[in-house]
């Protein structure tokens, strides 16, 4: 493979890739609104791959025990993942790439979230880095290989999925359909670092009970708000207990100030300041790491809240952590490719959950997370991605394909 020709062709394809990113940002692809963007992307991708097909999401997936964030009367009619393939020319090692179409709702005060803007070498807009910039990166890889007539030795499968943000239901459909690969690279914003350890997350809903009544009869009332505060304290104690164990089990996080964050994100109770409420509802997310699994977290929280008048439900997102050793060939090969592309990349810990665990746990395919953009920008009012980072990431992934699978002229 001629590295100079690759770099020059990739550079020539930067503008089409950035234009694609701008077109993707213009689609408000919130959950349940991913049909049109999927059709559009297929029309753009199918000219640069050997095969591109829609993989419909059946409504029956909502009955799967690993399904996340069930909604009332929800239908997937017309909604599909997009799968693209480069056929292998021999028996080289195979690669599965993954990223997602959906975005989170706009941030309060975010200016025209679905109107892309270029400024100072960056693209702004909802989804710019999470994860439409990742889609643009993969498109840049595929178009460059196509234009150079470079074919991988092993098959390359690219799944661009729906519903990552609410727990990975699109990738769950990938898992249930079966997939075989020697490696998986999930594209998310990692600041071009190779994340080989990704924390898990369990979203919870706590319903705290009390006894309603007037503030003038405090002896006969019991505010559910007080119970909810005690529930928060109990959850924090569980976090401290498990964090102590994980710090010993996972040396990688030893110096990290908060590798297992617990966030209380929503709190609702009462309808009058002078009346004790009978119920308080608290929602949040519990981050965790090995040696614990999501079932462990659910059991620990259930046990901790049992002595209180509080019920806990886990009917939203439930993601396990994903981990492979730092010296795994996948990690080292991607690090070598990044270095060759001029990136100072390291094997890192990702303090957010994503779909990588669906591959490592559900399909037993070693998985890492890698991509341009910063997690600090994702979901923010000023979400953006640097065009130079897209270029660097795409170059690294082409070098990775060459090192892992092999590339030859057709």
Three-state SS string across 174-236, please? HHHHCCCCCCEEECCCCCCCEEEEECEEEEEEEEEECECEECCCHHHCECHHHHHHHHHHHHH
In sequence order, the β-bridge partners of residue 99 are 160
How far apart are the C-alpha atoms of 131 and 102, rounded to whole Å?
8
C-beta of residue 25 within 8 angstroms of C-beta of residue 132? yes
Query: Percentage helix, strand, coil, to 5, in the chain?
Result: 35, 25, 40
Considering the domain 202-319 in this protein, what is its CATH number? Answer: 3.30.70.360
> Within the chain, which residue ranges are assigned CATH 3.30.70.360?
202-319
Q: Which residue intervals of the chain bear CATH 3.40.630.10?
A: 3-198+321-409
Task: Give dist(CA 210, CA 84) in Å, integer.
Answer: 54
Looking at residue 256, its pLDDT comes to 87
What is the C-alpha to C-alpha distance for residues 223 and 384, in angstroms, rounded to an integer? 44
35-45 and 14-25 helices cross at what angle (nearest 10)?
Answer: 170
Task: State whether CATH 3.40.50.720 applies to domain 3-198+321-409.
Answer: no
Look at residue 111 in the predicted model and tell me its pLDDT.
87
Residues of the chain with pLDDT under 70: 216, 218
pLDDT recorded at residue 243 = 96
Neighbours of 39 (CB within 10 A): 13
pTM confidence score: 0.95
Q: What's residue 214's pLDDT?
A: 74
Q: Are strands 156-161 and 80-86 parallel, antiparallel or unpaired?
A: antiparallel
The phi, psi pair for 164, rounded to 5°, reads -75, -40
Residues near 188 by Cβ (< 8 Å), separated by ≥ 6? 99, 130, 131, 134, 195, 350, 352, 354, 369, 370, 371, 375
How far apart are the two ends of the chain, measured CA to CA in Å?
Answer: 12
Helix pair angle (132-148, 35-45), 10° resolution:
20
Burial class, 209, CB count within 10 angstroms (exposed 0-12 / middle 13-18 / buried 19+): middle
DSSP character string of 319-335:
E--EE--TTSHHHHHHH
């Amino acid at each position: 493979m001629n590295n100079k020709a690759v770099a020059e062709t990739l550079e020539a394809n930067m503008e089409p890739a950035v234009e694609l990113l701008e077109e993707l940002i213009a689609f408000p692809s919130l959950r349940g609104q991913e049909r049109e963007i999927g059709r559009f992307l297929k029309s753009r991708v199918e000219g640069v791959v050997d095969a591109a097909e829609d993989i419909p999401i059946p409504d029956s997936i909502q009955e799967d025990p690993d399904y996340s964030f069930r909604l009332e009367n929800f239908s997937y009619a017309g909604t599909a993942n997009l799968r693209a393939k480069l056929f292998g020319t021999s028996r080289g090692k195979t690669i599965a790439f993954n990223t997602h179409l959906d975005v989170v709702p706009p941030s309060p005060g975010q200016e025209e979230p679905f109107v892309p803007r270029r400024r100072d070498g960056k693209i702004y807009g909802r989804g710019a880095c999470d994860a439409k910039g990742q889609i643009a990166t993969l498109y840049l890889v595929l178009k460059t290989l196509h234009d150079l007539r470079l074919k991988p030795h092993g098959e390359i499968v690219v799944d661009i999925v729906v519903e990552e943000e609410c727990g990975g239901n699109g990738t769950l459909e990938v898992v249930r359909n079966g997939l075989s690969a020697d490696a998986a690279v999930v594209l998310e914003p990692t600041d071009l670092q190779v994340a080989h350890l990704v924390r898990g997350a369990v979203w919870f809903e706590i319903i705290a009970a009390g006894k309603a009544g007037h503030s003038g009869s405090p002896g006969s009332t019991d505010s559910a708000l007080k119970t909810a505060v005690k529930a928060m304290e109990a959850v924090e104690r569980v976090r401290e207990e498990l964090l102590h164990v994980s710090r010993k089990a996972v040396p990688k996080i030893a110096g990290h100030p908060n590798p297992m964050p617990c966030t209380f994100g929503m709190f609702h109770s009462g309808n009058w300041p002078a009346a004790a409420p009978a119920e308080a509802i608290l929602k949040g997310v519990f981050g965790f790491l090995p040696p614990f699994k999501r079932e462990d977290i659910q059991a620990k929280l259930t046990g901790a809240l049992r002595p209180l008048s509080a019920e806990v439900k886990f009917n939203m997102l439930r993601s396990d952590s994903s981990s492979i050793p730092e010296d795994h060939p996948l990690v080292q090969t991607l690090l070598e490719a990044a270095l060759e592309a001029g990136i100072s990349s390291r094997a890192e810990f990702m303090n957010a959950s994503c779909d990588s665990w669906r591959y490592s746990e559900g399909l037993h395919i070693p998985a890492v997370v890698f991509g341009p953009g910063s997690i600090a920008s994702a979901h923010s009012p000023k979400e953006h991605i640097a065009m130079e980072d897209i270029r660097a990431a795409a170059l690294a992934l082409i070098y990775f394909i060459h090192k892992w699978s092999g590339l030859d002229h057709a």
